[in-house]
Amino acid sequence: MNAEMQPLFWRISDQDQSGFEAVSLLMPAGTAGEDPAEFPTEVSFRSNRSSHHPVDLRWSEEDSDLFMSLLDRLMEPEEEGDIEVDISDGVIQGIVQLVALARFKTPWPTDELVGDDIITEREELEVGDLVALNTKYGFALAIIVGLDSIDATCVLLDALMDNDQLLIPDHSLLMVNRLCVLPASFAEADLGEDAIIH
């Protein structure tokens, strides 16, 4: 896969002047006279910016690396050479959404959420892995979007509930100790039938 990408930008704008900045993917015009393409994400954040004019931020190296890592996880091994990414494809939009969450959201505090340690075989973790997070309220399905030697940064794919009370909504960013990260088969939402939990 060729890692050269057209320059991409995030457009940050408070279009409805609500105090929340919406994040969109902005692709510059390919040819003269063509308008740039803007693709909204579901990501927004509170801002105290006084100006309501949009701000365009170039994708960071970390944004591009995360996008390519997640894209590599979805590509077939036999697909080599240049590929064309269709931004209107739902899978690609999902990857862009994950990159936007990792870039613009602040991780939820997790000290009061983590469950008791579980002794089980652990797998080597990589960015893009589908995992289960061990919490006091059950195992929540998540995807890893960042790693260091101690913590894993994950996007929740399941909302975290305590009975009928919503604790943390899905698509929230969490930073947890690697010991809280388990194989995806632990999560209630995981539909894998070949995993056995002992």
Share of the chain above pLDDT 90, in %: 47
Q: What is the CATH number of domain 106-198?
A: 2.30.30
Domain ranges of the chain: 9-104, 106-198
Give the residue among 31, 42, 36 at the shortest CA–CA distance from 8: 36
For the stretch 75-129, pLDDT in tens is 665 556 666 777 888 888 999 999 999 999 999 888 888 888 888 888 899 999 9
Tokens of 139: 């195992």
**Residue 150 carries which side chain, given as an amino acid letter?**
I
The pLDDT, as a whole number, for residue 133 is 94
Mean pLDDT of all residues in 35-62: 86
pLDDT of 44 > 80? The answer is yes
Q: Average per-residue pLDDT in the chain?
A: 84
The pLDDT, as a whole number, for residue 181 is 93
The pLDDT, as a whole number, for residue 198 is 42
The pLDDT, as a whole number, for residue 196 is 45
Query: What string of DSSP letters covers 92-151?
Result: HHHHHHHHHHHHHPPPBP-TTTB------------TT-EEEEEETTEEEEEEEEEE-SSE
The pLDDT, as a whole number, for residue 79 is 58
